[in-house]
Chains A and B, each alone.
Chain A
Amino acid sequence: MTMAVTKLRVEEKLYQNRYLVDPGRPHIKVRPHERPSANLLALTHICPAKCYELNDKGQVETTPDGCMECGTCRVLCEASGEIVWNYPRGGFGVLFKFG
């Protein structure tokens, strides 16, 4: 299975969901780094909303617009300081219709 197909699929899935994005206030940030750790690199595969991707310099970047606020990345990478995690402001972020 190619990455392109996988990416397309998860975007299609996320398209079903309702989000209220807080413009300019991402609730997750990746700290600048030279080389990502194993856990940070793993997020590019295991984040269920595919919020993490590698840039062409081999560093991990995040766009948390489609984030479902599960906390997987926080459990793996907050303690090491590689990411900064907060909940979106009240009312913003994912809005589950069914949950």
Chain B
Amino acid sequence: MIEEEFDAIVVGAGMSGNAAAYTMASQGLAVLQLERGEYPGSKNVQGAIMYADMLEQIIPDFRNDAPLERHLVEQRFWVMDDTSHTGMQYRSDDFNEARPNRYTIIRAQFDKWFSRKVREAGATVLCETTVTELVRNAKGKVIGVRTDRAGGPIYANVVVLAEGVNGLLGTRAGLRKMPKPESVALAVKEMHFLPDEVIEQRFGLQGDEGCVIEAAGTISRSMAGLAFLYTNKESISLGIGCLVSDFAQTRESPYVLLDAFKHHPSIRPLIAGSEVKEYSAHLIPEGGYKAIPQLFGDGWVAVGDAAQLNNAIHREGSNLAMTSGRIAGEAIIEIKGRNQPMIRRNLALYKTMLDKSFVVKDLMKYKDMPDLIHTNSRNFFMTYPQLMSQAAQNFMRVDGTPKIEKEKATTAAFIKARSRWGLISDVVRLALAWR
């Protein structure tokens, strides 16, 4: 079907694939991008928060026409038990700036826009095309792809694997291992529609201001997990995710967790009267630095979720995806500019550049967190949230009990649940992993 040989084939039209394709096409490289969905975004799922800085480095004037929902002025973090939440809240008018820092987005719409930019930059984008196999030469260098369309293989000097967390190509070709159940979270999400004025009233927002709530606690039923509520213009994205290994062990149903979260007394009034228009599910890479696979080889590089580049601690995924895609594109441009072949030794430039960026530095900082959280999920997601709620309630309920006795009761409850040594060790381990 396509006789031309391309400089690069990009597999996937998500954040990382679009960033890579845009970067290369805008510098005049012949780029073919293949997407299995009916349109870019039709297979993609995210919470979703988009970080302006990382997109600005790719498309500086994106604010002119990108489909953005609300810019965030307020963030709440809630520790929940079955009837309460203990919250931390940050709101600042400084976020009402000319070039806001973070936005909520709806991925299907955002990805369509991003893909239009990719085509305008000169790339050929082919949708409804599933790449089935990588084509390699006698030396093992990746030289192209086969698809489920009629016709032979399509050739390119380099293939950018932007195929997402559940990418089949890289694992089947033995370039990387399948993600482990303890290094991916399964998240489910619903889109709740409400009139914009109702959303603004319930969250104290004006115009395009937005608010997000992220919540942990007994809602994940002792599994390592996080729930979220993101305000869009006329909808609320609501979801919850936990490690696949924990799901497999507890055999909890994700939709049952989501329903319980929706009916929690702290959440229910915020979505009352909404109309649900979509239910989605997606895996999120949670393994951090230690789960990063081989990122490059002869004729290929891996970017975004396919490379497990996700900062679970700061809930940043799409910005690592966009940045890794951009950097891969820049490395390929540089190697082509030197008239060098796209072999392993040269493509190592991508990793060198990525290691210097915030992407790898941030993941390195938290390299011990995934293990800590995975092995202590019952304490972090069940015991401590319950203790915090009891302590807060004990502190606030005025009932004639002397304050000294209340303090003693709270301390005793913590020691009974975790022991002195357990408490000290949890604090120390958390501090070391956070450092």
Q: A48 touching B255 by the CB < 8 A rule?
A: yes
Q: A68 touching B256 by the CB < 8 A rule?
A: no
Which one of A10, A72, A99 lies within 8 Å of B283 (CB-CB)?
Answer: A72
Which of A28-46 touch B at CB < 8 Å?
A: 38-39, 42, 45-46
Chain A, residue nearest B167 (CB): A71
Q: B244 touching A72 by the CB < 8 A rule?
A: yes
CA distance A49 to B235 in the complex (A): 22
Chain A, residue nearest B109 (CB): A98
Which one of B165, B252, B278 lies within 8 Å of A17 (CB-CB)?
Answer: B278
Interface residues on B, range: 35 or more
CB contacts (< 8 Å) of B280 on chain A: these are 17, 68, 96, 98-99
Q: A99 touching B168 by the CB < 8 A rule?
A: no
Can you list, as one digit per residue, whether each of B298-338 has a CB less than 8 Å from chain A (1) or not (0)?
00000000000000000000000000000000000000000
Q: A13 touching B38 by the CB < 8 A rule?
A: no
Which residues of A are at the interface with B, using a C-beta cutoff of 8 A?
Answer: 1, 6, 9-10, 13-14, 16-17, 20, 38-39, 42, 45-46, 48-50, 68-72, 74-76, 78-79, 85-91, 93-99
25 pairs, CB–CB < 8 Å, chain A vs chain B: A16-B278, A17-B279, A39-B248, A42-B247, A46-B244, A48-B186, A48-B188, A48-B253, A50-B253, A50-B255, A68-B279, A71-B166, A71-B283, A72-B247, A74-B166, A75-B181, A87-B130, A91-B127, A98-B235, A98-B277, A99-B45, A99-B48, A99-B107, A99-B108, A99-B111
Which residues of B are at the interface with A, using a C-beta cutoff of 8 A?
Answer: 36-38, 41-46, 48, 106-109, 111, 127-130, 147-149, 165-166, 168, 178-181, 184, 186, 188, 190-191, 235, 244, 247-249, 251-256, 259, 276-283
Q: A99 touching B253 by the CB < 8 A rule?
A: no
Nearest chain B CB to A21's CB is how many angstroms away? Answer: 13
Q: B277 touching A76 by the CB < 8 A rule?
A: no
Chain B, residue nearest A66 (CB): B279
Which one of A16, A75, A87 lies within 8 Å of B178 (CB-CB)?
Answer: A75
Nearest chain B CB to A86's CB is how many angstroms away? Answer: 7
CB contacts (< 8 Å) of A14 on chain B: these are 279
Q: A90 touching B147 by the CB < 8 A rule?
A: yes
CA distance A98 to B282 in the complex (A): 13
Q: B248 touching A97 by the CB < 8 A rule?
A: no
Given contacts A69-B166, A99-B106, contact A75 B279 (CB under 8 A): no
CB contacts (< 8 Å) of A78 on chain B: these are 178
Which one of A46, A69, A97 lies within 8 Å of B277 (CB-CB)?
Answer: A97
CB contacts (< 8 Å) of A72 on chain B: these are 186, 244, 247, 281, 283
Given contacts A9-B255, A90-B127, contact A95 B37 (CB under 8 A): yes
Which one of A17, A71, A85, A91 lies within 8 Å of B128 (CB-CB)?
Answer: A91
Chain A, residue nearest B253 (CB): A45
CA distance A69 to B36 in the complex (A): 12
